[in-house]
Amino acid sequence: MGSMQKVWTDYVRGPKALWVMYKYADIVDFELNNVTITGAKGEPLDIVFMIQTEWTNWIPRYLPNIRKLNLLNMDMEKVNVVVKKGLGVGSFGYNAHRPEPSPGQWYQSNLGLVNCKFKDTTVPTDRARVCVKYYLDVKVVDEKGNPIPDATVTVVNEVDNENHPAENIAVRRYRHVPVETCKPIDGGTWKAGANFFYFDMYSPLSSTRTGKDGHTPLPEDKTKTLVLKDYQHTQEGRKQFTYKITVQAGGKKKTITGVNPGPHWYRPDPNKPTYTITAVLDGKTVTESTLKKQGLAGLSTSNDRR
């Protein structure tokens, strides 16, 4: 066995329930949504994602097919989700003359878990991260409790809004036809041009508007629904996020700080919220904790939505 083959074998060694890996394939669509994964006897499982969501230093502007990958509404109650950096294989993935992988042969793996039930997340390598996310439900009312339609709801990440803003779940598809001067690791240059198809499974979305019932849009409206990250997990540890929500309508405003998404926001049916934050347009600034004490943040009622 050659040295590179040994690197590959050693890297993927170990128990496997399911591994997900893609590289260089011409993927035109991808979705893992509303799937239940369990062991044959209900035993705990590890599901490993070793993917490529970021190009490195071979061709500067070329990108993998899926740059922004989410799993949606998964029931994996006894599953440990493992995310590892991608390992180059085949052409463009390694240099046969090199005894060990060069920096350009390892690829960033970024995975999002939206409204998923799972046991835990594990990130054993660098160049890998998993972000746990949940749907946001805000109900906007006046001081008499009447729902306010067409109110603007704006969300800001209080910890790191530049890198981890609120999102939607709209799939964005587009083509890219790059012609680049490429610089392989061993030197020299060559021209390359190709017609590549890409898609992202979410985009940043800082604000949305309420419907007739005063609520923010459900996930069935993929473009306008709001998704917030609970935490980012990397090899260095977990980074928790909280949010500020600002609501405006008819010249009135409400600000809610310290909004903290978590597993209590999980929805067995994504279009039936289990946790709702009620924003009363009274011009005040409050914390989510205060709203909980007032009964204005917590369990959603079954007849609350349109």
CATH number at residue 239: 2.60.40.1120
Higher-confidence residue: 51 or 262? 262
Contact 153, 255 (CB under 8 A): no
Q: Which of 131, 159, 188 marks a domain boundary?
A: 131
Q: What are the tens digits of pLDDT across the range 237-260?
A: 999 999 999 999 999 999 999 999
Higher-confidence residue: 152 or 94? 152
Contact 180, 192 (CB under 8 A): yes
Q: List the one residue out of 113, 225, 208, 230 whose CA is nearest residue 169.
A: 225
For residue 303, pLDDT beyond 80:
no
183 part of a folded domain? no
For residue 228, pLDDT beyond 60:
yes
The structure tokens 């061709």 sit at 59
For residue 2, pLDDT beyond 60:
no
Q: For residues 251-262, b (16+ Cβ closer than 10 Å) or e, as one string? A: ebbbbbbebbbe
Higher-confidence residue: 161 or 58? 161
Higher-confidence residue: 12 or 158? 158
Do 127 and 47 belong to one domain?
yes
Do 248 and 291 belong to one domain?
yes
Do 52 and 147 belong to one domain?
no
Q: Which of 87, 115, 131 marks a domain boundary?
A: 131
Q: Which of 81, 113, 131 marks a domain boundary?
A: 131
- As beta bridge partners, residue 83 has 49
Q: For residues 119-155, b (16+ Cβ closer than 10 Å) or e, as one string? A: eebbbebebbbbbbbbbbbbbbbbeeeebbeebebeb
Do 249 and 268 belong to one domain?
yes
219 part of a folded domain? yes
117 part of a folded domain? yes
Q: What are the tens digits of pLDDT across the range 101-142?
A: 554 567 788 999 999 999 999 999 999 999 999 999 999 999
Do 115 and 158 belong to one domain?
no
pLDDT for position 108: 84
Higher-confidence residue: 42 or 70? 70
Domain count, the chain: 2
Top mean-pLDDT range of 23-32, 198-207, 264-273: 264-273
Q: How far apart are CA 198 and CA 111, in angstroms?
A: 16
Range with lowest mean pLDDT among 66-75, 192-201, 209-218: 192-201
Do 7 and 65 belong to one domain?
yes
pLDDT for position 92: 44
181 part of a folded domain? no
Do 118 and 149 belong to one domain?
no
Higher-confidence residue: 10 or 63? 10
Contact 78, 44 (CB under 8 A): yes
Per-residue pLDDT band at 18 (split at 50, 70, 90): confident
For residue 235, pLDDT beyond 90:
yes
Q: What are the tens digits of pLDDT across the range 37-52?
A: 998 887 889 999 988 7
Do 150 and 40 belong to one domain?
no
pLDDT for position 62: 45
Maximum distance among all Cα pairs of the chain, rounded to whole angstroms: 75
Q: Domain range spanning residue 31?
A: 3-131
For the chain, give the DSSP string. --HHHHHHHHHT-S--SEEEE--S--------BS-B---TTS--EEEEEE---B--SSSTT---SBSS-EEES-EEEEEEEEEE-EE--STTT--TT-SS--GGGEEBEEEEEES-EEEEEE--SSSEEEEEEEE--EEEE-TTS-B-TT-EEEEEETTTTTTS--B----EEEEE--EEEE--TTS--EEEE--EEEEES--B--EEE--TTSBPPPTTSTTT--EEEEEEEETTEEEE--EEEEEEETTEEEEEEEE---GGG--SSTTS-SEEEEEE-SS-EEEHHHHHHTT-EEEPPTTS--
Q: What value, to the nearest 5°, has the Cα angle with vertex 20 and ends 267 and 91?
A: 145
264 part of a folded domain? yes
Q: State phi, psi for 32 to the nearest 5 degrees.
A: -120, 105
pLDDT for position 42: 79
Do 214 and 295 belong to one domain?
yes
Do 116 and 161 belong to one domain?
no
233 part of a folded domain? yes
179 part of a folded domain? no
Cβ neighbours of 40 (radius 10 Å): 7
For residue 54, pLDDT beyond 70:
no
Do 98 and 152 belong to one domain?
no
Give mean pLDDT, residues 16-36.
Answer: 76
90 part of a folded domain? yes
Do 146 and 82 belong to one domain?
no
Give mean pLDDT, residues 78-97.
Answer: 69
Dihedral, 255, 259, 264, 268 alpha carbons, nearest 10: 60
